[in-house]
Each structure stands twice: as C-alpha cells, then as structure tokens.
A and B are shown apart, each in its own frame.
Chain A
Amino acid sequence: MTGTHIAGIGVTPFGKHGDRALSDLGVAAAEKALADAGLDYDAVGEVFTSSSMAPPQTGLKVAHRLGRTGIPVTAIESASAGGMVALRQAVWAVASGRCRIALAIGYEKTTALEPGGVVPAAVDFWDRFPPQVHYAIEASRWLHDAHCKPEVIGAVAAKSYNQARLNPLAARRNDDEVTVEQVMSARMIAEPLTKMMCHASVDGGAAIVVTADHRPRSVAVAAIEQTSWPRDPSWPLAGPCVGPPSQITLTAARAFDAASVAPTDVGIVSLHDMCASEEITALIALGLADTVEVAELAQSGGLASGGRLPTNTDGGCLARGHAFGATGLAQIAEVVSQLRGEADLRQVSDPRIGLAQAMGGGGSCVVAMLGR
C-alpha cells in the first residue's frame, strides 16, 4: 500500500483541438482536477507533466499558468505510458513525505502538431513500417492458438465503440450501436486488424491530484508499479513496438503483491489498447482471464459495463481516443469515476478494486491498483 489517495480527476474532451494551444489542454485538465478535489493550486507541493510530442518546456509553461508558486515541476516522456509514469512519480512524491499534495498532468496534440513539437524520427529499418504490424502478428498467433476467428477481436472493438457512446468526453461516439460486422468490414490495415480495430490518435488533457490525506470521494492508491523491457527471447525488438506480454505479467504480479489483492478482486479494468487485440492479450497477461475465457467474455458482452470483467468502459484508446501523454491519466480518471460510483450510464456494479495498465512504445509498462 502506498498510503496515498487520488482526490481529484480532470479530463478534457478527447478529439480534435487544433485551434487550442497545447498548454491550454494541460491547464484545463489540471483546473478540473483541482476543482474536483476542492483544492487550490497553492496547496500543491510538486507537479509532474507528461507528453510525447510537446515542445521543450511545455510542462513548466503549464505549471506557471496554474500559479508561480516555486514548486518542483518535472516533465516526463514515456510514450503511451507517460501519464501513468507521471502519476507514479506523484504518488511517490507524496508517499515519501516530500509533499502532501502532488499533481500529475498529461496533455497531447496529435492531430495538429504544436509548433516546435517533437515527432519521433524513422531511424531504424522497421520504424518505416506501420506499428500495427507488430500487433497484427501477435493477434494472428493468438487467433491460431485459441482457434478463434477475427470476429472475436471485432467484438472487443464493437464493445469499445459502444462504451464510448456513453462517454461524453470520448472522441469516437457513434449515433447508432456499432456492430461486429461494421468493424470487420472496415479497411484492412494489417491482417487480421481492420481500421476500426486500431486506436484513434487525438488531442486531449488529463490530470490527477494525489494527496496524503483521505478526502471526501478519494480513492486509495493501493499500488503502482513500473517496469522496462525484461529479457524475453520470444519478443523481437523491431521498430516502434512495445514490450512483451511477460512484461505486463511481471508488472502486474508486483502490483498485486504490493496491494495484497488477487486478480479475482478486480472489478474494473482500464488497459492500453493500441489495437483491439491488445485488450485480449493484455487481459491474459495481467492474469485476469485465460485464452478461452477472454474469447467467451468478448463475444458475450462480458467486457462491457454490465459484464463480468468490465474493461475500457470509457471506450479505451480505440474510441475514447489516444492522446499519448494524457492517455494514462484519463484511464486512471475512468477507474476512479467507477470506484466512486460516478460513471453515469457506463457505471459498473459496485467495483471495489480497479486496475489500470499502460504500455508505452519503447517499453515502459505501469500497473496501478486503486481501491475504495
């Protein structure tokens, strides 16, 4: 147990914000999180910011716009895992006694790059190929081993789109229910993954307030663990890809141990779904379902709000959208909303333990356990 709490959450709408400055997204999310916690920025002792593509010094710009209070501000880059890496730093700033209140802020603009923003260069041979190739190969093997058809992945994707219809902050909100047939008939990106099985890169901001004291509506941070790529000969290092499933398993095992909870205790899950197939392979790697169970859950509605293992109830990277440096904090905000019982139409029935998992390109994995 970390002895810390999440007292405030703030998320901007995910989508296109081409006309807004990147720092606006961070400031807006932070102000929402502070208001949710009932705290002023003057009370914050440390700030940790996350972005993958921001121009240098954006983190300080965001913090200075919130208030020039002289506190430490640390900017973090860890691709899709960056938001939860920032949260881990905030948790440990409070848990170590350095401060009583810390703020993690993530922000990203992917649809219209901020002037001076950073785009990773294609340096290595495989950097020139679509990142979905890696997920498609992994998905193909899973389908082969599980004796399943690609429609199982289509069912996961359809679930995520339909969950996003219940999330007013999601980027991809369809007027009508999305069917597996629609997902399967979308343009093929890399077999078996169609375009509708792949994430939407969007703009957005998210922020989390971490406190030493329990406050009204706060949620306990039971554990937050982070790893880099472990040795695993089954996973080729090729191009813009993430670490192996064994890394997720390692990170989750440490988090379950630190939180003293079991996989069967988890009532709400938010995980990194660069592609819908990653939701399947991550659930297995986290120890929350086996190959047979996850296929059954996907096809029976078991991963939706009313299902046995509600997963990515805000629509996930597929449909809430993926604003790289902000995504991990938006995931945490969804789990906190669910544990508070404040998730409105997508509310899960009485979850007590929530798990959030982030995986970043290059190889950072973070697993957080939150509890009421």
Chain B
Amino acid sequence: MPADRPADLAATVWASTFVPSKSPIPGYGQDGYSVAWVDTPDGRLQVLVSGPRPAPGTVGRIVEQTLGETKILLFDADPA
C-alpha cells in the first residue's frame, strides 16, 4: 500500500501470498514479491512484504520505504 497511513505499526500476519512475477513497483520485487493481510491497531491492512513470504501469525512491523519518488508501506517481520 502507498504511505497514506502511519508507519511503524505493530502487525501480525493473517495470511499472505507470493507472486512469482515482476512487481509493478519499480525497485521492488522485480523477481517476485509477497503481499500480506496483516492485523494492526488500525485494523486489517493489505501490504507488500519486505523479505520472504511470511506465514500466518508472523509478528513484525509496518515500515515506510521510499522507492524512487514513491513512498510505500511494507510488512517487515521481527527477527526470529
């Protein structure tokens, strides 16, 4: 999702998918990417994922990343 919500929210993955094709966002997921539905204090959100596809229940945070001129929000899993 674009950065229209506050970043650095705690988030838990409800479910996710991996798409094995080029992302439409330049600079992100050019060899495939993951999308997740995550539960946050703001409700359930659909976000792109930083790193490998997370399993349901994975805990992490929503972080903001700038790609070119686009700011996007990503789910970033906490270190295991």
Q: Find out whether the CB atom of A137 lies under 8 angstroms from the CB atom of B45.
A: no
The stretch among A80-88, A122-130, A278-286 that forms the contact with chain B is A122-130
Residues of A within 8 A of B43 (CB): 233, 236
In the complex, what's the smallest C-beta–C-beta distance from A144 to chain B, in angstroms? 5
Are the C-beta atoms of A191 and B18 separated by less than 8 Å? yes
Find A137's partner among B16, B20, B24 (CB 8 Å cutoff): B16
B22 to A: closest C-beta gap in Å: 11
In the bound assembly, the distance between CA atoms of A188 and B21 in angstroms comes to: 9
Q: Is B51 in the interface zone, CB < 8 Å from A? A: no
- Docked Cα-Cα span, A133 to B45, in Å, equals 14
A191 with B35: CB separation less than 8 A: no
- Chain A proximity of B15: nearest CB distance (Å): 4
Q: How big is chain B's contact interface, by range?
A: 20 to 34
A24 close to B (CB within 8 Å): no
Choose one: B24, B25, B35, B56; the contact of A141 (CB below 8 Å). Answer: B56
Chain B residue at minimum C-beta to C-beta distance from A188? B20
Complex-state Cα separation, A236 to B13, whole angstroms = 13
Residue among A125, A189, A233 with max Cβ neighbours from chain B (10 Å): A125
Looking at the assembled complex, report how far the CB atom of A120 sits from the nearest CB atom of chain B, in whole angstroms. Answer: 15
A238 contacts chain B at the CB level, 8 A cutoff: yes
A114 within 8 Å of B (CB atoms): no
Q: Is the interface of A mostly helix, strand, loop or mixed?
A: mixed
Closest-CB distance, B41 to chain A (whole angstroms): 12
| Interface bracket on A | 20 to 34
Pair B14/A141 contact, Cβ less than 8 Å: yes
Kindly provide the distance from the CB of A232 to the nearest chain B CB, expressed in whole angstroms: 9
- B24: A residues at CB distance < 8 A: 128-129
The answer to whether B15 touches A236, judged by C-beta atoms less than 8 angstroms apart, is: no
Q: Which residue of B lies closest to A136 (CB)?
A: B17
- Cβ of B19: which chain A residues have Cβ within 8 Å of it? 129-130, 133, 136, 189-191
Q: Does B11 contact A (CB under 8 A)?
A: no
Report chain A residues within 8 Å CB of B15: 137-138, 140-141, 144
Interface contact B16-A126, CB-CB below 8 Å: no
Contact A126-B46, Cβ < 8 Å, known A136-B17, A140-B16, A189-B19: yes
Write out, one digit per residue, whether chain A residues 133-164 have a CB within 8 A of any chain B CB (1) or not (0). 11011101100100000000000000000000
Cβ-neighbour of A133 out of B17, B25, B72 (below 8 A): B17
Within 8 A of B (CB), among A194-240: 233-236, 238-239
CA distance A189 to B43 in the complex (A): 27
Q: Which residues of chain B are within 8 angstroms of A125 by Cβ–Cβ distance?
A: 1-2, 72
Shortest Cβ distance from B53 into A: residue: A191
Chain A CB count within 10 A is highest, among B35, B43, B53, B56, for: B35
A240 to B2, CA, bound (A): 16
Known pairs A137-B17, A190-B35, A239-B46; list 17 more (Cβ under 8 Å).
A125-B72, A128-B25, A129-B19, A134-B46, A137-B16, A137-B36, A140-B15, A140-B17, A140-B56, A188-B20, A190-B19, A191-B19, A191-B20, A236-B44, A236-B45, A238-B1, A238-B46
**7 A–B contact pairs at CB < 8 A?**
A129-B19, A129-B24, A133-B19, A140-B16, A141-B14, A233-B43, A236-B46
